[in-house]
Structure 1
Amino acid sequence: MDETGLAAAFGQHLARDRRRSAHTVRAYQATALRLLRFLGGHWGETPDARRLAKLTSADLRAYLAHRRGQGLGNASAARELSAVRGFVAFAAGEGAMPRLKGPRVKKGVPRPVSPDEAVALAEDVAEAAAEPWLAARDWAVLLLLYGAGLRVGEAVSLTASVLPLGETLAVTGKRDKTRIVPLLPQVREAIEAYAAQCPWPLPRNGALFRGARGGPLSAAIVRRAVRGARGRLGLAERTTPHALRHSFATHLLGRGADLRALQELLGHASLSSTQIYTAVDAAHLMDVYRNAHPRA
């Protein structure tokens, strides 16, 4: 079986036997194909199941170094390694994967989650879901936190009355205060994809996001899923659902957003609550300066 066929067989296994979402199947199959093509050049021969059984830690380090050279960040590299583990176990059997620690992210004072980390986190949470519709749900919830700045409690409290979605979303936050937030196309598509797959009825006065047994999704489930993903990806403990909201604010501010407009988007009662992001953004810029400037 050639490299394309082996990667395709892995994708079929994920879809049929592991019941992974279409998004996960595409991502993991693409990783398998990238690995096989790299190893073909690295070894000078076409990789097959027999040869994969002899994969070494040095081979994997060379592959990850190759991917790093293509701009892969820590979180995405850890996620790539997770996909590689699954593929090698499928193709060459359990135990064939050599031991290799994933990349680690330095711990330190609170900092916004990078876009790379935010997307990798959401993808990993979705990929760990037991059912495709749960994967779609988790992807939609985490995109709401990062792409619209919602608190996790606000996201799980949404009712199906928000459907059909428009370009904005009415969100009820603390002190029952309602605010209007814009919906990016990617966020809107994620929610719509979840709603289309959800096996439970979604009456207008009922919860939009449902748990595995049909009840309202709890914030604790979201936090637990994020804890698991950040452990698998080697992300710092600061990477929480609320950190995605912080990142939404910090990244907007870094791109010139007005503090008053940001206050409205976040639902802060006072401007002083929003002003903390000016300090966070300045600290982030100093980190970039120290790491990039030769005389820093």
Structure 2
Amino acid sequence: MQVGKHEALKLFIEYMQIEKNYSQATIEQYHHDITSFFMFMAEQAIPSLAEVQYGDVRIFLTRMYDKKLARRTAASKISCLRSFYRFLVREKLVDENPFALVSLPKAEKRLPEFFYEQELELLFDACETETPLGKRNKALLELLYGTGIRVSECCKIRLSDLDFFLSTVLVHGKGHKERYVPFGSFAHDELQTYIQSARNELLGDKEDHGYLFVNFRGGPLTARGVRGILNKMFENSSLQGKIHPHKLRHTFATHLLNNGADMRTVQELLGHAFLSSTQIYTHVTNEHLRRTYMSTHPRA
């Protein structure tokens, strides 16, 4: 069966949504990567997906190298296109997968960035709590650090997902997987303060949509909004460098392991499907131990 490349992409997107149950963010990234490859095909005058050869793929890899893409980014694009063609072969839309023999570039082993406990205290101290927005921001920071949840998960939290008696939150994770995550007394107190004395004021006369965090217009807070809030907090503190929401997630995991938590527990709390995803934090904690040793031992 012959179909155009855009029709093939549409079928692949439906397959990811219905059969694979991928998140919207993953689907958008796949769509972007495949569309970029379509542009490459047009430049190379390749008329159809079935006519892409291994040599064309090598040229595509060279283009990525010339653009100085990070190895992790290049590997992600190749993996995406390999999956796309695997689907096309399965559906008998093409005969061969030209990406099947391409080896993925090894990604750089970069350790996750995290805050030391003293640094985090400076960030918390920079929060003002006199205004409704200030109360919301403090609750947001406490929840992100206190649970290690992803920003996308944080923005999906509804009031009904919170259990203040057990101090747990129902988190809607990747691939529609759900997990219960506990939060501590600091997050507990700041969340209650925000809900009782700030949230309704931020909602104003808008109908309550049920989401926990509200923006200044009364709508649900978005991931982009969270990044803006954290950047503003960071600017108001005396900290140097950069902040991103995932840094709080890295900090959560690193502090747990540094204080004796076992790997399996941290894996469950983070919502990692594979233990290998969590094991990167052992490198962080090992490096932390090494630095402590080198700076404190008389014979180091």
Q: Could you say which TM-score interval applies, normalised by the shorter chain?
A: 0.5 to 0.7
How big is each residue's C-alpha offset from its partner over 1:23-75, in whole Å with a ceiling of 9 and x where there is no partner? xxxxxxxxxxxxxxxxxxxxxxxxxxxxxxxxxxxxxxxxxxxxxxxxxxxxx
1:224 corresponds to which of 218, 225, 228? 228
Counterpart of 1:113 in structure 2 is 115
Distance 1:252 1:152 in 2: 19
Distance 2:208 2:268 in 1: 26
Counterpart of 1:88 in structure 2 is none
Q: How does 1:30-41 map to 2 (within 5 A)?
A: none
Counterpart of 2:139 in structure 1 is 140
Distance 1:156 1:171 in 2: 10
How big is each residue's C-alpha offset from its partner over 1:203-229, in whole Å with a ceiling of 9 and x where there is no partner? 886211000110011222221232233
Shift in CA distance, 203/271, structure 1 to aligned 2, threshold 3 Å: farther
Distance 2:280 2:160 in 1: 33
Q: How does 1:59-70 map to 2 (within 5 A)?
A: none
Alignment of 1:155 with 2:154, yes or no, is yes
Alignment of 1:284 with 2:288, yes or no, is yes
1:210 corresponds to which of 214, 221, 227? 214
Aligned residues: 186
Give structure 2 stretches of 5+ with no counterpart. Answer: 1-109
2:251 corresponds to which of 247, 252, 264? 247
1:266 corresponds to which of 270, 276, 289? 270
Amino acid at match of 2:217: R
Distance 1:204 1:258 in 2: 40
Counterpart of 2:55 in structure 1 is none
Q: How does 1:37-76 map to 2 (within 5 A)?
A: none
Distance 2:292 2:124 in 1: 24
SS in 1 for 2:219: coil
Amino acid at match of 1:150: I
Distance 1:228 1:161 in 2: 29
SS in 1 for 2:179: strand
SS in 1 for 2:170: strand
Amino acid at match of 2:292: V
Scaled by the length of structure 2, the TM-score of the pair is: 0.56
Larger Rg: 2
Shift in CA distance, 194/267, structure 1 to aligned 2, threshold 3 Å: same
Shift in CA distance, 173/223, structure 1 to aligned 2, threshold 3 Å: same
Give structure 1 stretches of 5+ with no counterpart. Answer: 1-107
SS in 1 for 2:119: helix
- Cα offset, 1:146, TM superposition: 0.9
Counterpart of 2:63 in structure 1 is none
Q: Does the 8 Å CA contact 2:162/2:169 hold for their aligned counterparts? A: no
Amino acid at match of 2:149: L
Shift in CA distance, 254/109, structure 1 to aligned 2, threshold 3 Å: closer
2:124 corresponds to which of 122, 141, 150? 122
- Cα offset, 1:109, TM superposition: 6.7
Identity %: 42
Structure 1 runs of 4+ with >6 Å offset: 201-204
Q: How does 1:169-180 map to 2 (within 5 A)?
A: 169-180=169-180
Scaled by the length of structure 1, the TM-score of the pair is: 0.57
- Compute the RMSD of aligned alpha carbons: 2.5
Q: Does the 8 Å CA contact 1:142/1:241 hold for their aligned counterparts? A: no
